[in-house]
A and B are shown apart, each in its own frame.
Chain A
Amino acid sequence: MVAIADSVPKPVSRFQFILDRRDVLGSLMVAPAILYVLLLVGVPFLMAVYYSLSAYTIYDPSWSFVGLSNFEDILEDPTFRQTLYNTFIFTFGSQILGLILGKFGALLLLRPFPGRKIVRALIILPWVVPIALATVAWQWMFDSLYSVINWTLIAMGIVTRDEAPNWLGTPELAMLSVIVVNAWRFFPFAIVIFLAGITAVPQDVIDAATVDGAGFWRRNYQIILPMILPIMAIGLVFGIVFTFTDLSIVYLMTQGGPVGATSVLGFAGFQTGIVSGDVSHGAAISVFMLPLLLIVVVTMLRFIRRREI
């Protein structure tokens, strides 16, 4: 008979399996992200809010609290009101244009054709090309002397050299130009959103609509579009937030000109706060976006929740 030795229970360290515990491992995994958000988003945001309520400039770095007087100052400034208006035009103009391009792009990319995968990959390019590079290219296309767009228009006999539009030198055309560039940058994102939405519509539903007598337009606008509205709205929320706060295209292409015609809030805040050193007013301009965006985002999210199918 084999004697079984009395097994002495080995002491188990309390920390030996510490990483198997969900709460411990979970917290560890999430910590970097939380730290990142707190330090790089939360702290600067709180600082911006405080700056906007202080008299801080780089010449007089005082932290003295001045209440809402910075906001009163900027609201009385007609340039700021022009900038606010520009920002709305810029944002909604480029979103609408981007959505239209995105919808039709998605419809084209849904049809099978040779090389579709390559085209699908290439279409994403405007989105991934560094914005500085892309904008320089667009700047040349809109150049007053070397514009390839004007060259084409002249070559086709649509305008003469004298009437050729000065894209970035005329207020309305300059706004149109920055809108076009932003829509160009945004539409691959819109295509991806539309593609995801349309492919998520069950084939049975589309087939049912076809058998029920719906043609192309009715299928698209009465069945598919309402069904993808929630995901479209989410894409739009992203688009609006990014565009509303964007300053890169305006900064690189027009510097807000001519005479403030393309100045947007992000750009104005940067100009006033960083370039001119008036930190408190610059912060006020930037913080001003917060309530506006909040209203837009909350409205859209409520709409999405109501439409959730």
Chain B
Amino acid sequence: MSAVLARDIVKKFGEVPAVNGISLTVPDGEFMVLLGPSGCGKTTFLRIICGLEKQTSGDLLIGGDIVNDLPPRARGVAMMFQSYGLYPHFTVRNNIAFPLRTQRVPRAEINKKVEWASQLLGIGHLLDRRPRQLSGGERQRVALARALVREPTALLLDEPLSNLDAKLRTSARQEIKNFQQRVGLTTVYVTHDQVEAMGMGDRIAVIDHGQIRQVGTPTEIYNDPADLFVATFVGSPPMNIVTHNGGGYLGFRPENFLPKEMMNGGGFTEFSFRVDRSEYLGSERIVYGVMDGFESKQPITAKLPPAHVREESIRPGEWHPFAVRTEALREFDKDGKRLNHH
């Protein structure tokens, strides 16, 4: 059974469509990431799922039931917000208990559930504090406990890590993912950060201009992008795209674009590459340049392993023979759609 099922959801603000026909199935227990640039409609879609916004058209099913006209509280979903939305005047205990109080759950049961949720997230010792006395990571755990305590059909998370500093973000990412796997809770996670998406998602839905461009596992999204948008949105630096065969496009990842001498055996395509600039980043060297006979809007990048490529061997301003393994080349038609996509 699918926990969340969206059928052709459209949401217009005035004449402007924020969500332009999204259909998506999230099976039970899946960690689904909605990935897209800011303003692509992913947060609006999430707010439609939880009922804070009502779609202009389309059907939404949660746990198999149509919930189009149900208010948020009747949908059985929990949401964790970007800045957590904790109630500052309540203690942690009362924050976690609030969703149960609104449902008029008996007091004894509330206590039991608060106990259970706070044990699960290891915040039992914080129950009598107020949110402002907590660190960023602790706040996140309180917000998770509050979301969890009602045992929702699905957990919705709206960029929950964007308020944390880079270091904390890595551990928080781990924590959410571990927790989700342990509980097996269906999760829809919105982010614009591809590292979060790749690292956490069972599947990723890449969204742009209110439409899904591709749904797939991180490997599929990265290796077999369905179109130019996905190809250039995911990956850092993004996939190189050059015009090809008059109107079509050819794409390849920077890490697959290597000096020819590193290729052994056959099955590769050769290009002439002029290096303009090079950045040494420790574990890798990024070189920027142009390719003979190919047009590209962006500089062509190659990601080289410093251990294997000596700096002197690729001098700026000179042409070097580079190559890409043929199986790593991706072809797109003139509309940017992937050709021979399997």
Contact = CB atoms under 8 A, between A and B. Distances in A.
A209 B130 CA distance: 17
A211 B78 contact: yes
Contacts of A209: 85, 87, 98
Nearest to A207: B52
B81 A208 contact: yes
Contact of B85 (A207, A213, A307, A309): A207
Contacts of B253: none
Interface residues of B, number: 25
Contacts of B29: none
B82 A213 contact: no
A122 B73 CA distance: 38
B73 A204 contact: no
Contact of B52 (A211, A213, A227): A211
Contacts of B84: 204, 208
A209 B78 CA distance: 11
Contact of A211 (B73, B82, B88): B73
B146 A212 contact: yes
A307 B79 CA distance: 28
B81 A204 contact: yes
Interface string A189-214: 00000000000001011111111111
B267 to A, nearest CB: 53
Contacts of A44: none
Given A211-B73, A212-B146, A213-B103, A202 B98 contact: no
B57 to A, nearest CB: 23
Interface string B73-103: 1000111011111111100000000110011
B283 to A, nearest CB: 37
Interface in B97-136: 98-99, 102-103, 130, 132
A93 to B, nearest CB: 29
Given A210-B72, A211-B73, A213-B72, A205 B87 contact: yes
B218 interface: no
A204 B87 CA distance: 10
A212 B86 contact: no
Given A202-B83, A204-B82, A210 B89 contact: no
A112 B155 CA distance: 31
Contact of B72 (A205, A211, A227, A309): A211
B18 interface: no
B51 interface: yes
B124 to A, nearest CB: 21
B89 A212 contact: no
Nearest to A309: B88
A212 B78 CA distance: 7
Contacts of A211: 50-52, 72-73, 77-79
A231 interface: no
Nearest to B79: A211
A300 to B, nearest CB: 18
A226 interface: yes
B83 A204 contact: yes
Nearest to A208: B85
Nearest to B77: A211
Contacts of B51: 211
A49 interface: no
Contacts of B132: 309
B81 A213 contact: no
Contacts of A202: 83, 85
A226 B78 CA distance: 23
B244 to A, nearest CB: 46
A205 B85 contact: yes
Given A218-B102, A223-B87, A309-B89, A212 B73 contact: yes
A204 B89 contact: no
Contacts of A210: 52, 72-73
Nearest to A230: B89
B73 A205 contact: no
Given A211-B52, A212-B99, A205 B79 contact: no
Contacts of B47: 207
Interface of B: 47, 50-52, 72-73, 77-79, 81-89, 98-99, 102-103, 130, 132, 146
8 contacts: A202-B85, A208-B79, A210-B72, A212-B73, A213-B99, A213-B103, A223-B87, A227-B88
Q: Which 9 A-B pairs have the closest CB atoms?
A: A208-B85, A213-B73, A213-B102, A204-B85, A212-B99, A204-B81, A309-B88, A226-B89, A205-B85
Interface of A: 202, 204-215, 218, 223, 226-227, 307, 309
